[in-house]
């Protein structure tokens, strides 16, 4: 509808400017219009350029790992991803200790650390975020709904360093006192802190998907004798499922890349274990903690950029998946509603 | 009987979802109350107007406030023209079905998902080492002048980070300007750019301002991108050139929370710093919400 009007508007411009004989003033004006349109189009490339430059320049700094002989020796792919014999007579292990006489550069402890904090945060944030969205979209009275939405979105406005502070000062103490965890800062505390950061993301995107479901779906279900809960659970939720999945994937991406919360509340010890009460060191926190002291151009420096490349690729894939799903639910629902 | 069970079960589960929503709000309330309780007594005029002293265990946060303000101001100057013009392209100039517009949209939505620490790496690799290094070579500086962390590079890094925020909210604002205004202006003989400058942009101004405020609030709170592009642990002087380092509220919070020699002594300072940071970002968010509510009401009244 809008687009048609817009096209008509453009048609107007073209017929007006395509008049045969033009005065020099008109021609100058036409030229000026072209230049302005050109400038605006050129500026629009900035977004694409930024994304490409991010890719190129992070990859460029990481590339030394594969090109430079010294770096290739110190941090080969084998050393990053396969177990290494750290001390003679011990079984091979995964160790991250890039600053030592013999640097040990296994990525596995960092992967495990990231996975552990992310898992904890998802296990908390997905049920809470989706259930909250379901309540606000389906059950809440209109008044309450108009209060709840902005309040929950306010949570998204809290800087992550403040959430990290909260996890470090309050959550950690609370968990230690009530659950008797031996290490104060661990994967659970960091994961709960992360959950605070991604709940608003999951809530907002899920709520959008739920409200996009046409009213006729609900009316049909209720008319057939279903209770409001059955309508929400068996009709509205399945219809919005791809959007809700997209919300979870987006939240997952945010949790992987989030830095300050994990840096402050995870303890930052690169331990390989599946115990969630151990300290962990995530990929993002490793970059943040070690980049300050690293020698520019050293293998360690390239290694940190390589972690950045991995983070970029993970989140890029997750974002693409999420946006495809979110688009699909919109297309399906608007298509079915029309 | 079966009917009653169905309704009871539904009611119980509904209550459960309500509790989930309540839990989110409760967490927000706990965070706010805790920060308020711990910090309210310590935010005084001296705290706001003095530099830290006694090895970060006394004094105030003035350099951090100043640094945050200068940083976000530079960031806003960089991001607003680019963000607004990109949105103008997407909504006003791109032909329907344009490949370029679709590509820009994909790039922007992906840019919004890039982790903030990766922006920090980008700032270090691109702005400091590449751009700064090239400038030093071209301008003939013998020692590092531009190729070192500084407020300009940090603000440009943040500008890239907040670009999607500005583009998305500006586009929303442009969408709210009625198509009739454009056609009326064009019918009166105005050119496209005149229509844009005198009709469309003024009409979309509140929405564009909302975008700016949201970008500032986001930029003021982000710490990861400035860790290695210019934030400093402690500086006796305020930043006065574009390549000087600066103190920052968020980074100051991180430093006080994790690197204090005496946790008990810094705790009040830490709480007060967090309170100032939170108050700042919330005030900005509130302004954005109010502008938006005002515009929506006006738009609703006009139709």
Place of tokens 């979870």: A248
CA distance linking residue A110 with residue A117, whole number of Å: 11
Pick the more confident residue, A301 or A297: A301
pLDDT of residue A335: 63
Q: What mean pLDDT, rounded, does chain A reach?
A: 86
CA distance linking residue A159 with residue B23, whole number of Å: 20
CA distance linking residue A119 with residue A312, whole number of Å: 19
Query: What are the tens digits of pLDDT across the range A101-125?
Result: 778 888 889 999 999 999 999 999 9
Residues A324, A325, A328: CA angle, nearest 5 degrees: 90
pLDDT of residue A151: 87
CA distance linking residue B283 with residue A38, whole number of Å: 38
CA distance linking residue B196 with residue B93, whole number of Å: 10
**β pairing state of B52-53 and A104-105:** unpaired
Predicted complex ipTM: 0.90
Residues of chain B short of pLDDT 70, as ranges, are 1, 299, 302-303
Helices B263-302 + B201-221 axis angle, to 10: 170
* List of E strands, chain B: 52-53, 58-59
List the single residue in B with minimal CA-CA distance to A41. B89
pLDDT of residue B74: 94
- CA of B86, closest CA in chain A: separation in Å? 4
Q: Which of A51, A61, A139 is closest, CB to CB, to B17?
A: A139
List the single residue in A with minimal CA-CA distance to B87. A44
pLDDT of residue B277: 94
- The rounded Cα B275 to chain-centroid distance in angstroms is 17
pLDDT of residue A222: 93
List the single residue in A with minimal CA-CA distance to B166. A47
Helices A187-211 + A241-257 axis angle, to 10: 150
- CA of A328, closest CA in chain B: separation in Å? 15
Contact B167, B90 (CB under 8 A): yes
List the single residue in A with minimal CA-CA distance to B189. A16
A39 vs B contacts (CB less than 8 Å): 85
CB contact under 8 A, B86 and A47: yes
Say which DSSP state A85 is in.
Answer: -
CB contact under 8 A, B250 and A169: no
Task: Decide if B26 touches A, using CB distance below 8 A.
Answer: no
Contact A186, B245 (CB under 8 A): no
Place of tokens 């350029």: A49
CB contact under 8 A, B20 and A253: no
CB contact under 8 A, A308 and B121: yes
CA distance linking residue A234 with residue A208, whole number of Å: 18
CB contact under 8 A, A250 and B167: no
A258 vs B contacts (CB less than 8 Å): 115-116
Q: How far is CA A211 from CA A218, A236, A240, B23, in A?
A: 11, 9, 9, 21
pLDDT of residue A252: 93
Longest dimension (CA), chain B: 88
Per mean pLDDT, which range of A33-42, A289-298, B122-131 is the poorest?
A: A289-298
A287 vs B contacts (CB less than 8 Å): 117, 120-121
pLDDT above 50 for A337: no
Query: What are the tens digits of pLDDT across the range B202-242?
Result: 989 988 998 899 899 989 889 999 998 988 888 877 888 88
- CA of A254, closest CA in chain B: separation in Å? 7
Contact A121, A255 (CB under 8 A): yes
Pick the more confident residue, A201 or A99: A201
Query: What are the tens digits of pLDDT across the range A213-246?
Result: 889 999 999 999 999 999 999 999 998 888 899 8
pLDDT of residue A4: 47
**Contacts of residue B79, Cβ cutoff 8 Å, sequence gap at least 6:** B158, B159, B162, B163, B166, B215
CA distance linking residue B124 with residue A60, whole number of Å: 12
B182 vs A contacts (CB less than 8 Å): 6, 9
CB contact under 8 A, A233 and B13: yes
pLDDT of residue A20: 63
B164 vs A contacts (CB less than 8 Å): 47
- The strand pairing partners of B246, in sequence order, are B231
CB contact under 8 A, B20 and A159: no
CB contact under 8 A, B21 and A316: no
B224 vs A contacts (CB less than 8 Å): 160, 259-260, 284, 288
CA distance linking residue A314 with residue A337, whole number of Å: 35
List the single residue in B with minimal CA-CA distance to A283. B117
- CA of A90, closest CA in chain B: separation in Å? 35
A1 band by pLDDT with thresholds 50, 70 and 90: very low
Query: What are the tens digits of pLDDT across the range A162-215?
Result: 999 999 988 988 888 888 777 888 899 999 999 999 999 999 999 988 998 889
CB contact under 8 A, A287 and B117: yes
Task: Decide if B233 touches A, using CB distance below 8 A.
Answer: no
List the single residue in A with minimal CA-CA distance to B104. A48
Contact B120, B225 (CB under 8 A): yes
- The strand pairing partners of A104, in sequence order, are A97
Q: Which of B17, B191, B257 is closest, CB to CB, to A132?
A: B17
CB contact under 8 A, A60 and B111: no
pLDDT above 70 for A74: yes
Q: Which of A3, A170, A232 is closest, CB to CB, to B34?
A: A170
Q: How many other C-beta atoms are found inside a 10 Å radius of the C-beta of residue B134?
A: 12
Task: Decide if B5 touches A, using CB distance below 8 A.
Answer: no
* Closest to A262 (Cα-Cα) out of A314, A202, A190, A322: A190
CB contact under 8 A, A46 and B21: no
CB contact under 8 A, B223 and A37: no
- Please give the torsion angle defined by the CA atoms of residues A321, A192, A260 and A184, in that order, rounded to the nearest 10 degrees: -140
B167 vs A contacts (CB less than 8 Å): 47
B178 vs A contacts (CB less than 8 Å): none
Phi, psi values for residue A170, rounded to 5°:
-100, -55
Query: What are the tens digits of pLDDT across the range A126-159?
Result: 999 999 999 999 999 988 988 888 888 888 889 9
Q: Which of A134, A155, A323 is closest, CB to CB, to B17?
A: A134
């Amino acid at each position: 509808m809008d687009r048609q009007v817009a096209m008509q508007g453009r048609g107007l411009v073209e017929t007006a400017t395509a008049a045969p004989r033009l005065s020099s003033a008109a021609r100058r004006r036409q030229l000026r219009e072209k230049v302005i349109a050109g400038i605006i189009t050129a500026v629009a490339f900035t977004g694409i350029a930024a994304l490409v430059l991010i890719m190129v320049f992070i990859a460029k700094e990481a590339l030394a790992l594969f090109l430079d002989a010294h770096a290739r020796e110190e941090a080969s792919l084998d050393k990053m991803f396969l177990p290494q014999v750290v001390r003679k007579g011990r079984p091979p292990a995964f160790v991250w200790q890039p600053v030592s006489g013999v640097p040990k550069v296994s990525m596995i402890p960092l992967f495990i650390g990231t996975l552990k904090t992310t898992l904890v945060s998802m296990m908390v944030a997905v049920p809470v975020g989706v259930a909250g969205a379901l309540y606000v979209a389906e059950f809440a009275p209109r008044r309450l709904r108009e209060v709840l939405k902005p309040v929950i979105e306010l949570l998204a406005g809290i800087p992550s360093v403040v959430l990290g502070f909260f996890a470090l000062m309050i959550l950690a103490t609370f968990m230690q006192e009530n659950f008797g965890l031996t290490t104060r800062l661990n994967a659970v505390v960091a994961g709960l802190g992360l959950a605070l950061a991604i709940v608003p993301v999951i809530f907002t995107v899920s709520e959008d998907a739920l409200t996009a479901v046409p009213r006729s779906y609900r009316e049909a279900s209720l008319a057939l004798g279903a209770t409001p809960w059955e309508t929400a659970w068996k009709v509205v939720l399945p219809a919005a499922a791809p959007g809700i999945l997209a919300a979870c994937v987006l939240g997952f991406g945010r949790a992987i890349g989030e830095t300050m919360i994990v840096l402050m509340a995870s303890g930052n010890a690169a331990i390989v274990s599946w115990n969630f009460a151990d300290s962990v060191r995530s990929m993002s926190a490793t970059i943040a903690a070690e980049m300050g002291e690293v020698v520019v151009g050293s293998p360690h420096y390239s290694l940190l950029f390589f972690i950045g490349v991995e983070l970029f690729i993970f989140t890029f894939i997750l974002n693409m998946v999420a946006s495809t799903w979110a688009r699909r639910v919109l297309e399906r629902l608007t298509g079915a509603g029309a | 009987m079966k009917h009653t069970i169905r309704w009871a079960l539904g009611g119980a589960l509904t209550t459960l979802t309500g509790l989930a929503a309540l839990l989110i709000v409760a967490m927000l309330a706990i965070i706010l109350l805790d920060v308020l309780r711990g910090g309210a007594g310590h935010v005084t005029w001296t705290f706001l107007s003095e530099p830290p002293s006694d090895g970060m265990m006394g004094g105030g946060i003035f350099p951090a406030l100043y640094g945050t303000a200068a940083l976000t101001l530079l960031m806003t100057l960089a991001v607003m023209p680019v963000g607004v013009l990109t949105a103008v392209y997407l909504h006003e100039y791109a032909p329907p079905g344009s490949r370029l517009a679709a590509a820009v949209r994909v790039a922007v939505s992906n840019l919004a998902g890039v982790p903030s620490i990766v922006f920090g790496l980008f700032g270090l690799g691109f702005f400091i080492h590449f751009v700064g290094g090239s400038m030093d070579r071209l301008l003939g500086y013998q020692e590092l002048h531009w190729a070192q962390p500084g407020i300009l590079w940090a603000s440009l890094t943040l500008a890239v980070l907040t670009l999607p925020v500005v583009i998305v909210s500006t586009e929303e604002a442009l969408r709210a300007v009625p198509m009739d205004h454009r056609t009326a202006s064009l019918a009166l003989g105005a050119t496209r750019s005149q229509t844009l400058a005198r009709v469309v942009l003024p009409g979309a101004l509140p929405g564009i301002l909302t975008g700016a405020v949201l970008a500032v609030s986001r930029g003021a709170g982000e710490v990861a991108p400035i860790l290695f592009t210019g934030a400093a642990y402690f500086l006796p002087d305020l930043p006065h050139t574009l390549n000087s380092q600066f103190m920052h509220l968020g980074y100051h919070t991180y430093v006080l929370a994790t690197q204090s020699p005496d946790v008990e002594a810094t705790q009040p300072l830490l709480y007060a710093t967090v309170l100032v940071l939170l108050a700042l970002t919330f005030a900005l968010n509130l302004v954005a919400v109010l502008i938006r509510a005002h515009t929506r009401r006006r738009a609703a009244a006009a139709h």
